[in-house]
Amino acid sequence: MTDAPTLLLDAAEARVLGCLVEKEATTPEQYPLTENAALQAANQKTSREPLMTLEAGEVARALRGLEAKGLARRVDGARALRFEHTAARTLELTRGQLAALALLMLRGPQTAAELQSRSERLHRYADADDLAHALERLAARGFAVALPRAPGQREGRWAHLLCGPIDVSAMALDTGHAPARGTATRDDDALLARLEALEARLAAVEARLAAGERAED
């Protein structure tokens, strides 16, 4: 069994791994991802905190770093090299644990309520206790940590530890974008989900157009 302290990721690797897990569930018709698709997912403007502007070379290095750590593997496609994650097998995670971990990698520290509302496209938890159990198992194995509740917060947040130990006390006080992030409403998340769906449909249309152009050539 592989635990977090022996498998540290850098920020780019964590973002790309989260994207691979997310896109496997949300856009299976485009999965496994090409390097370009992974780049677009990593730099996506919705459902990402913090926003990143990775270069193509950084994403390529991240994919190969994940491959070296046993968290991703390349899949030879007809036209382009593609990558899929192997995190569930390597880390021995359930689907619920993997979904929660991916959300923490993609959107930073979040409350259990935020994870519950944002996880529907990745995994449907039976109830709040089901999610709580997944988070507790991640914490027990060193993959996640519960942050102390900051003054004025109703609920404590969770953070992942795949990039190494964090200053829990500092993270608890760092509300950063707290008014927008800590009190995100279901309407906000629904809007983000619609934007993601539109982005996915646009990417699919572009892929079909590109395939048609190649066929004509």
What are the DSSP E strand ranges found in 53-181?
72-76, 81-85, 110-111, 144-146, 157-160
Q: Which residue has the higher pLDDT, 76 or 50?
A: 50
Q: Which of 105, 106, 108, 129 is nearest to 116 (CA)?
A: 129
For residues 199-214, average pLDDT: 61
Phi and psi at 34, nearest 5°, equal -75, 170
Element (DSSP H or E) covering residue 144: strand 144-146
Contact 139, 119 (CB under 8 A): no
Residue 184 clears pLDDT 70, i.e. is over it = no
Q: Which residue has the higher pLDDT, 194 or 73?
A: 73
CATH fold of 94-191 reads Arc Repressor Mutant, subunit A (1.10.10)
Mean of the per-residue pLDDT values of the chain:
86
What pLDDT shows up at residue 185? 45
CATH fold of 4-90 reads Arc Repressor Mutant, subunit A (1.10.10)
Residue 203 clears pLDDT 50, i.e. is over it = yes
Fold match flag (4-90 vs 94-191): yes
Domain ranges of the chain: 4-90, 94-191
pTM, two decimal places: 0.79
Q: Which of 142, 155, 152 is nearest to 112 (CA)?
A: 155
Q: Which of 50, 46, 51, 24 is nearest to 37 (CA)?
A: 24
